[in-house]
Chains A and B, each alone.
Chain A
Amino acid sequence: MWRRSASFILDDERRRTSDSPPMAADNTTTARAPFQNPDAISAYYQTRAAHHGVITSDWLAQAQAAVGGVSGEEHPDSSAAELGKEKTFNVIEEFNGWRKQPDLAEAVAAIRALAAVIRASEASTMMELEIELKKASDTLKLWDKTSISLTAGCDLFIRYVTRTSALEYEDFNSAKSRLLERAEKFGEISCKARKIIAMLSQDFIFDGCTILVHGLSRVVLEILKTAAQNNKLFRVLCTEGRPDGTGVLLSNELSKLDVPVKLLLDSAVAYSMDEVDMVFVGADGVVESGGIINMMGTYQIALVAHSMNKPVYVAAESYKFARLYPLDQKDMAPALRPIEFGVKIPAKVEVEMSARDYTPPQYLTLLFTDLGVLSPSVVSDELIQLYL
C-alpha cells in the first residue's frame, strides 16, 4: 500500500486493479474489526482541527466550565449503567468525551478513559484488572492508530499498573483506589508539566530575540505567554500552517498578549530565516531516536534552520515519548487529513494528504520536557529506563 517505487505508471495500474475487488466485496465488510475507525482520515488530526477551530482563551474558560461539569457527572453514570458486555464500546466513547475538551492533553484523556474502565470493572484480583485494562487499551489503540500520545498514555498507565511494587503489598481495594487516584492526579501532572516546561525555557528567550513558531502547540503557547508575562521583549514569526490555519489562531492569541507577531506563508520560511534567532515547535510524539513527529512542515523548517545554524527547540511533555523508530518519512502509520484548495481539483490529480512528518534528531538542538532540558540522545535512554 505504501508506494516506494519510482515507476508510478506501474503503481497506478496496480492501484486501479487492486481498487476494484474491494469495491465488489463492500457488502461483506466482515474483515474490518468492529471498532475500526471507518475512514482512513485520522481521528486525531480531526480532533486537533476541531480544537483549532475554537481554541481561543475566552472560549476556553467557558468551554472548560461547561464541558468539565457535564462530562464529569455523565460518564461515571453511563459507565456504571453499561456494565458487562458494552464495556469496550464504553472506552472509546469515554475517550472521545474526554478528548473533546480543548485544553486536555490526549494522553490525559486516554488515562482518564482507562480509569473509567477500572471504576467500572468487576475484577477481584490485580491480574484480572490488568487483563481488562490491557484489552481496553488495545481497543483504544486500534481505534486510532495514528495518535502517538494516545498510545504512549495507554502504555504508560499499563506499565505503571504492572510494575509498581508498592501495589503488591496492599489489598485489592486499596490498590484499586490508589490507581484511580493516580489517574486523576495525572491530569494535574499534565498541567504542571506545561508550567515546568515554560519555566525551563525562559532562560533561552532573551530580550530582542525573534522566534519562529510552527503549528499551534499548547505547550509553546504557554512558553510564550510566560515570557510575555515576565516582560521579555521578543517578536514572533508564525507560519500560516495550512491546512489547519494555525498561524492565524496563534497570532490572535499573541496579539492579545501584546507580542509583535508576523504571519508568514509556509513557503516564506527560508526567506525569513535570516532574521530568526530560534525556532520553537511542539511535538505530537517524540520517537526513540530523539526525533519528533509533528505537523506537516516541521521537517522543512528544521532543515532550513539547520542549514542556517539556527537552534530548533522542541517543547514536549514526557508522556509523548513513544517506542517508535521511523527510518524515513513514510515509515509511520499514515495519518491523512482532507485538504481544501478552494477550487475544484480534477479527479485524476492526487493530493498529498498526510498530516504529519518526521524530523530526525540531528536537526533538533534541545528538547524541553518536564523531565528537564534534554538533548535528543537522552530520549532513548529515558525510554529504555521505562520499558526495560
Chain B
Amino acid sequence: MFKNLTKLACCLGLLNGTFVVCSQLRNENGHNRNEQYNFLSENELNNLMMRHKNLWILNRNQTEHILSLMRDTNADIVTFRKNADRLIRILMEQALCHIEKKKQIKQSPLGFYESNEVKYNEEEICIVSILRSGNAFLNEGLRVISGASIGQILIQRNEETSMPKYFFEKLPEDINEQQIILVDPMLGTGGSASMALKVLQTNGVKEENIIFLTLVSCEQGLNKVFKEFPNIKIITAQVDPVLIQNINYLAPGIGDFGDRYFGTVKKNKCGLKL
C-alpha cells in the first residue's frame, strides 16, 4: 500500500509540474500576442488641438479613471454602463458649453446680475444618434436636456469591407433650424460619421450648428472628418494612438461599444472581438 501511495504522489507531482510549465509557456505567448499600447503624450495631444481649432479633448484627469474601467475586458455590464453614462454626461455638459449664449440682466435675491444663458429653447436642441451604439448617449442626454428633440440615423458597418451602409433615418422636420449634437461612441476611420454628416447636410443643416461627440477617436478619423466638414466642432474624451488596419478597430479602444453596452455579446468573447 505504501508503494501505491508513493506512485500516486509521483504521478500527481508530474501532473502538477507539467501544468505549471505549460501555463507559463502559455502566459509568455499570451504576453507577446497581446501588445501593450501606450497612450499619446500631452505634447502629441496639444499638437492635435493646435492643428484643428474646432477640436476639444477632455482633460485627462477627468477621463482616465472612467475610461480605464470601461476598457477593461473583465468589466461586467453594470459597471460598463455606469461608467459609460458618467463619461457621456461629462461630454454632454461640455457640448452645451459651446452653444451660443445671450446676455441679459436678471435679479437675484440680493440684487441684479449679468446672466449668460443658452440662447435656444430646449426644443431647438436636437440630439442625433448614429444607431445602434449612439443610442446609449440618449439616456444621459435626456437627463441633461429633458425637452430636446431626438433624431436617429441607422448606419451599420459591413464587417468584411468596413464600408458604412446607410439603412434608415428619422429626423425632426425643422432640423435645419436646430442646434445639433451628433453622437457616436467611436470615431475610427470616420466613415460612418461622415456619412451621417452628409445626411444632415442634405437635410439643410449648417456645419456651424453641429457638435460631434465621441468617447474615443483616432487621428485618422479626426483628420478625415475635419477635411470634409471643417466648420463642425468635435469633442472627444480621448484620442487613441492606433487604428488597426485590417479590422479598422481602435487600439487599445473599448472593443465594440454597442455590444458591450447593450449586452449582445457574451463576456468571454469581448477579448476575441478586439
Please determine whether chains A and B interact with each other in the same assembly: no
